[in-house]
Structure 1
Protein backbone atom coordinates (compact mmCIF):
# COMPACT_ATOMS: atom_id res chain seq x y z
CA UNK A 1 0.00 0.00 0.00
CA UNK A 2 1.38 3.41 -0.90
CA UNK A 3 1.63 6.13 1.70
CA UNK A 4 -1.18 8.11 0.05
CA UNK A 5 -3.44 5.02 0.11
CA UNK A 6 -2.51 4.41 3.76
CA UNK A 7 -3.34 8.03 4.62
CA UNK A 8 -6.63 7.86 2.74
CA UNK A 9 -7.65 4.72 4.64
CA UNK A 10 -6.46 6.19 7.97
CA UNK A 11 -8.69 9.23 7.62
CA UNK A 12 -11.79 7.19 6.69
CA UNK A 13 -12.23 6.26 10.37
CA UNK A 14 -15.13 7.77 12.30
CA UNK A 15 -13.10 8.06 15.50
CA UNK A 16 -9.46 8.34 16.48
CA UNK A 17 -7.45 7.31 19.51
CA UNK A 18 -4.18 8.79 20.71
CA UNK A 19 -2.10 6.19 22.54
CA UNK A 20 0.37 8.02 24.74
CA UNK A 21 -1.78 11.13 25.10
CA UNK A 22 -0.27 13.46 27.68
CA UNK A 23 -1.29 16.37 29.88
CA UNK A 24 2.12 17.99 29.30
CA UNK A 25 1.85 20.53 26.43
CA UNK A 26 5.55 20.07 25.63
CA UNK A 27 5.06 16.35 24.85
CA UNK A 28 4.05 15.06 21.44
CA UNK A 29 1.28 12.95 22.98
CA UNK A 30 -0.36 16.22 23.97
CA UNK A 31 0.34 17.96 20.67
CA UNK A 32 -1.13 15.12 18.60
CA UNK A 33 -4.30 14.97 20.71
CA UNK A 34 -4.64 18.74 20.44
CA UNK A 35 -4.16 18.50 16.66
CA UNK A 36 -7.29 16.32 16.44
CA UNK A 37 -9.28 18.44 18.86
CA UNK A 38 -8.37 21.71 17.11
CA UNK A 39 -9.89 20.25 13.94
CA UNK A 40 -13.05 19.04 15.71
CA UNK A 41 -12.10 15.42 15.05
CA UNK A 42 -13.41 12.93 17.60
CA UNK A 43 -10.32 11.69 19.43
CA UNK A 44 -9.95 9.67 22.60
CA UNK A 45 -6.85 9.95 24.78
CA UNK A 46 -5.41 6.57 25.74
CA UNK A 47 -3.37 6.83 28.93
CA UNK A 48 -3.64 4.52 31.97
CA UNK A 49 -2.13 7.10 34.34
CA UNK A 50 -4.15 10.25 33.64
CA UNK A 51 -7.83 10.73 34.49
CA UNK A 52 -8.52 13.52 31.98
CA UNK A 53 -6.74 15.40 29.24
CA UNK A 54 -8.30 18.59 27.87
CA UNK A 55 -11.43 17.72 29.82
CA UNK A 56 -11.77 14.37 28.05
CA UNK A 57 -11.75 11.23 30.19
CA UNK A 58 -8.61 9.26 29.35
CA UNK A 59 -9.16 5.58 28.64
CA UNK A 60 -6.51 3.14 29.95
CA UNK A 61 -6.37 0.88 26.85
CA UNK A 62 -7.72 0.49 23.34
CA UNK A 63 -9.52 -2.68 24.47
CA UNK A 64 -11.42 -0.71 27.09
CA UNK A 65 -12.25 1.99 24.56
CA UNK A 66 -13.78 -0.59 22.22
CA UNK A 67 -15.50 -2.66 24.93
CA UNK A 68 -19.26 -2.09 24.58
CA UNK A 69 -19.68 -2.88 28.28
CA UNK A 70 -17.48 0.03 29.35
CA UNK A 71 -19.44 3.23 29.17
CA UNK A 72 -16.90 5.41 27.41
CA UNK A 73 -17.45 8.99 28.48
CA UNK A 74 -17.67 11.55 25.70
CA UNK A 75 -18.74 9.03 23.05
CA UNK A 76 -20.63 11.09 20.52
CA UNK A 77 -22.72 8.39 18.89
CA UNK A 78 -23.43 4.69 19.09
CA UNK A 79 -21.41 4.16 15.90
CA UNK A 80 -18.25 5.85 17.21
CA UNK A 81 -16.33 2.61 17.22
CA UNK A 82 -17.41 1.01 13.98
CA UNK A 83 -14.12 2.32 12.62
CA UNK A 84 -11.10 3.64 14.47
CA UNK A 85 -7.68 4.92 13.52
CA UNK A 86 -4.94 5.17 16.08
CA UNK A 87 -2.01 7.55 16.54
CA UNK A 88 0.75 6.05 18.66
CA UNK A 89 3.23 8.18 20.56
CA UNK A 90 4.86 5.77 23.00
CA UNK A 91 8.24 4.05 23.35
CA UNK A 92 8.70 1.11 20.93
CA UNK A 93 8.01 -1.66 23.49
CA UNK A 94 4.68 -0.10 24.49
CA UNK A 95 3.88 0.57 20.83
CA UNK A 96 4.57 -3.07 20.03
CA UNK A 97 2.15 -4.30 22.70
CA UNK A 98 -0.50 -1.87 21.42
CA UNK A 99 0.01 -3.05 17.84
CA UNK A 100 -0.43 -6.68 18.87
CA UNK A 101 -3.69 -5.69 20.55
CA UNK A 102 -4.82 -3.80 17.42
CA UNK A 103 -3.91 -6.74 15.17
CA UNK A 104 -6.28 -8.90 17.20
CA UNK A 105 -9.12 -6.43 16.64
CA UNK A 106 -8.66 -6.54 12.90
CA UNK A 107 -8.84 -4.24 9.88
CA UNK A 108 -12.65 -4.22 9.74
CA UNK A 109 -12.52 -1.82 12.73
CA UNK A 110 -8.92 -0.55 12.79
CA UNK A 111 -8.59 1.56 9.63
CA UNK A 112 -5.04 2.72 10.26
CA UNK A 113 -2.21 3.25 12.69
CA UNK A 114 0.04 6.29 12.58
CA UNK A 115 3.33 5.56 14.31
CA UNK A 116 4.83 8.90 15.20
CA UNK A 117 8.63 9.24 14.84
CA UNK A 118 10.40 7.56 17.77
CA UNK A 119 7.51 5.23 18.57
CA UNK A 120 8.78 2.21 16.67
CA UNK A 121 11.71 0.05 15.70
CA UNK A 122 12.01 -3.00 13.41
CA UNK A 123 10.45 -5.31 16.01
CA UNK A 124 7.54 -2.92 16.47
CA UNK A 125 6.93 -2.81 12.72
CA UNK A 126 6.91 -6.61 12.63
CA UNK A 127 4.01 -6.57 15.12
CA UNK A 128 2.15 -4.22 12.75
CA UNK A 129 2.56 -6.22 9.55
CA UNK A 130 -1.17 -7.00 9.27
CA UNK A 131 -2.26 -3.40 9.80
CA UNK A 132 -2.42 -0.29 7.64
CA UNK A 133 0.59 1.56 9.06
CA UNK A 134 1.96 5.04 8.47
CA UNK A 135 5.51 5.30 9.78
CA UNK A 136 9.09 5.97 8.66
CA UNK A 137 9.31 9.60 9.65
CA UNK A 138 5.78 10.66 8.80
CA UNK A 139 4.30 13.02 11.40
CA UNK A 140 0.61 13.88 11.65
CA UNK A 141 1.51 17.36 12.94
CA UNK A 142 3.41 18.05 9.70
CA UNK A 143 1.46 16.03 7.14
CA UNK A 144 -2.01 15.61 8.61
CA UNK A 145 -3.63 18.73 7.20
CA UNK A 146 -2.33 18.14 3.68
CA UNK A 147 -3.40 14.49 3.83
CA UNK A 148 -6.92 15.42 4.93
CA UNK A 149 -7.15 18.15 2.29
CA UNK A 150 -6.13 15.74 -0.46
CA UNK A 151 -9.02 13.46 0.53
CA UNK A 152 -11.58 16.15 -0.16
CA UNK A 153 -10.27 16.49 -3.71
CA UNK A 154 -11.11 12.90 -4.60
Structure 2
Protein backbone atom coordinates (compact mmCIF):
# COMPACT_ATOMS: atom_id res chain seq x y z
CA UNK A 1 0.00 0.00 0.00
CA UNK A 2 3.00 2.32 0.12
CA UNK A 3 2.30 3.63 -3.41
CA UNK A 4 -1.24 4.46 -2.25
CA UNK A 5 -0.23 5.95 1.11
CA UNK A 6 2.41 8.35 -0.24
CA UNK A 7 0.32 10.42 -2.71
CA UNK A 8 -1.96 12.15 -0.19
CA UNK A 9 0.97 13.47 1.83
CA UNK A 10 2.91 14.41 -1.29
CA UNK A 11 -0.14 16.20 -2.71
CA UNK A 12 -0.26 18.35 0.43
CA UNK A 13 3.42 19.21 0.00
CA UNK A 14 3.26 19.93 -3.75
CA UNK A 15 -0.26 21.36 -3.80
CA UNK A 16 -1.28 24.86 -4.67
CA UNK A 17 -1.88 26.52 -7.96
CA UNK A 18 -4.81 25.87 -10.27
CA UNK A 19 -7.70 23.96 -8.69
CA UNK A 20 -8.78 20.86 -10.63
CA UNK A 21 -12.32 22.24 -10.80
CA UNK A 22 -11.04 25.66 -12.02
CA UNK A 23 -13.14 27.25 -9.25
CA UNK A 24 -16.39 26.13 -10.86
CA UNK A 25 -19.53 25.07 -9.04
CA UNK A 26 -21.61 21.94 -9.59
CA UNK A 27 -25.33 22.10 -10.36
CA UNK A 28 -26.10 22.46 -6.64
CA UNK A 29 -24.14 25.71 -6.48
CA UNK A 30 -21.28 24.24 -4.43
CA UNK A 31 -17.72 23.86 -5.67
CA UNK A 32 -17.04 20.62 -7.53
CA UNK A 33 -13.94 19.75 -5.46
CA UNK A 34 -12.67 22.92 -3.81
CA UNK A 35 -9.40 24.85 -3.68
CA UNK A 36 -7.60 22.02 -1.88
CA UNK A 37 -7.56 19.80 -4.97
CA UNK A 38 -5.03 21.16 -7.47
CA UNK A 39 -3.32 19.86 -10.58
CA UNK A 40 0.11 20.36 -9.03
CA UNK A 41 -0.90 18.41 -5.93
CA UNK A 42 -2.57 15.62 -7.92
CA UNK A 43 0.28 15.02 -10.35
CA UNK A 44 2.99 15.59 -7.73
CA UNK A 45 1.25 13.11 -5.43
CA UNK A 46 0.82 10.46 -8.12
CA UNK A 47 4.45 10.84 -9.22
CA UNK A 48 5.69 10.46 -5.63
CA UNK A 49 3.50 7.37 -5.17
CA UNK A 50 4.94 5.85 -8.34
CA UNK A 51 8.49 6.65 -7.23
CA UNK A 52 7.82 5.02 -3.84
CA UNK A 53 6.44 2.00 -5.69
CA UNK A 54 9.53 1.79 -7.89
CA UNK A 55 11.68 1.73 -4.75
CA UNK A 56 9.44 -1.03 -3.44
CA UNK A 57 9.86 -3.02 -6.68
CA UNK A 58 13.63 -2.58 -6.47
CA UNK A 59 13.72 -3.65 -2.80
CA UNK A 60 11.47 -6.65 -3.49
CA UNK A 61 13.77 -7.98 -6.21
CA UNK A 62 17.07 -6.95 -4.59
CA UNK A 63 16.37 -8.36 -1.16
CA UNK A 64 14.02 -11.21 -2.12
CA UNK A 65 11.11 -9.85 -0.06
CA UNK A 66 8.70 -12.49 -1.33
CA UNK A 67 6.49 -12.24 1.77
CA UNK A 68 5.32 -8.84 0.47
CA UNK A 69 3.02 -8.33 -2.52
CA UNK A 70 4.87 -8.29 -5.83
CA UNK A 71 4.41 -4.83 -7.29
CA UNK A 72 4.56 -4.04 -10.99
CA UNK A 73 4.83 -0.65 -12.69
CA UNK A 74 1.13 -0.96 -13.51
CA UNK A 75 0.13 -1.82 -9.94
CA UNK A 76 2.07 1.06 -8.37
CA UNK A 77 0.67 3.50 -10.94
CA UNK A 78 -2.88 2.31 -10.29
CA UNK A 79 -2.42 2.41 -6.51
CA UNK A 80 -0.99 5.94 -6.62
CA UNK A 81 -3.55 7.35 -9.06
CA UNK A 82 -6.43 5.48 -7.42
CA UNK A 83 -5.57 6.91 -4.01
CA UNK A 84 -5.93 10.48 -5.25
CA UNK A 85 -8.94 9.67 -7.43
CA UNK A 86 -10.57 8.26 -4.28
CA UNK A 87 -9.68 11.48 -2.48
CA UNK A 88 -11.24 13.51 -5.30
CA UNK A 89 -14.42 11.41 -5.17
CA UNK A 90 -14.60 11.92 -1.40
CA UNK A 91 -14.15 15.68 -1.83
CA UNK A 92 -16.92 15.72 -4.41
CA UNK A 93 -19.25 13.90 -1.98
CA UNK A 94 -18.22 16.17 0.91
CA UNK A 95 -19.18 19.23 -1.11
CA UNK A 96 -22.56 17.68 -1.97
CA UNK A 97 -23.17 17.07 1.74
CA UNK A 98 -22.31 20.69 2.53
CA UNK A 99 -19.06 19.89 4.34
CA UNK A 100 -16.36 22.52 4.10
CA UNK A 101 -12.74 22.09 3.05
CA UNK A 102 -10.76 20.58 5.93
CA UNK A 103 -13.88 19.51 7.80
CA UNK A 104 -13.43 16.04 9.26
CA UNK A 105 -15.49 13.20 7.83
CA UNK A 106 -14.87 10.14 9.97
CA UNK A 107 -13.93 6.96 8.06
CA UNK A 108 -14.27 8.60 4.63
CA UNK A 109 -11.13 10.66 5.33
CA UNK A 110 -9.22 7.52 6.32
CA UNK A 111 -10.35 5.00 3.71
CA UNK A 112 -10.89 7.08 0.55
CA UNK A 113 -7.39 6.23 -0.67
CA UNK A 114 -7.88 2.50 -0.04
CA UNK A 115 -11.25 2.38 -1.79
CA UNK A 116 -10.03 4.48 -4.72
CA UNK A 117 -6.84 2.50 -5.24
CA UNK A 118 -8.54 -0.90 -4.93
CA UNK A 119 -11.39 0.11 -7.26
CA UNK A 120 -8.97 1.31 -9.92
CA UNK A 121 -6.91 -1.87 -9.69
CA UNK A 122 -10.09 -3.95 -9.73
CA UNK A 123 -11.13 -2.24 -12.97
CA UNK A 124 -7.76 -2.37 -14.73
CA UNK A 125 -5.74 -5.26 -13.22
CA UNK A 126 -8.01 -7.46 -11.07
CA UNK A 127 -5.62 -10.40 -11.32
CA UNK A 128 -2.93 -8.44 -9.45
CA UNK A 129 -5.41 -7.47 -6.74
CA UNK A 130 -6.63 -11.02 -6.11
CA UNK A 131 -3.13 -12.54 -6.28
CA UNK A 132 -1.49 -10.04 -3.95
CA UNK A 133 -4.04 -8.66 -1.49
CA UNK A 134 -4.74 -11.68 0.66
CA UNK A 135 -7.17 -11.65 3.58
CA UNK A 136 -4.39 -11.09 6.19
CA UNK A 137 -2.98 -8.21 4.14
CA UNK A 138 -6.45 -6.70 3.74
CA UNK A 139 -6.98 -6.90 7.52
CA UNK A 140 -3.65 -5.14 8.13
CA UNK A 141 -4.62 -2.43 5.65
CA UNK A 142 -7.94 -1.87 7.45
CA UNK A 143 -6.16 -1.66 10.82
CA UNK A 144 -3.11 0.39 9.84
CA UNK A 145 -4.69 2.90 7.46
CA UNK A 146 -6.50 5.07 10.06
CA UNK A 147 -3.48 4.95 12.38
CA UNK A 148 -1.06 6.01 9.65
CA UNK A 149 -3.52 8.61 8.41
CA UNK A 150 -3.76 10.23 11.83
CA UNK A 151 -0.01 10.26 12.49
CA UNK A 152 0.87 11.64 9.05
CA UNK A 153 -1.81 14.35 9.27
CA UNK A 154 -0.59 15.48 12.69
CA UNK A 155 2.96 15.70 11.32
CA UNK A 156 1.70 17.59 8.26
CA UNK A 157 -0.16 20.03 10.48
CA UNK A 158 2.88 20.73 12.66
CA UNK A 159 5.22 21.24 9.71
CA UNK A 160 2.72 23.57 8.08
CA UNK A 161 1.57 21.66 4.99
CA UNK A 162 -1.92 20.94 6.36
CA UNK A 163 -4.36 23.44 7.82
CA UNK A 164 -5.99 20.91 10.17
CA UNK A 165 -4.51 17.91 12.03
CA UNK A 166 -7.01 15.35 10.64
Give the structure-1-normalised TM-score.
0.29
More helix by share: 2
More strand by share: 1
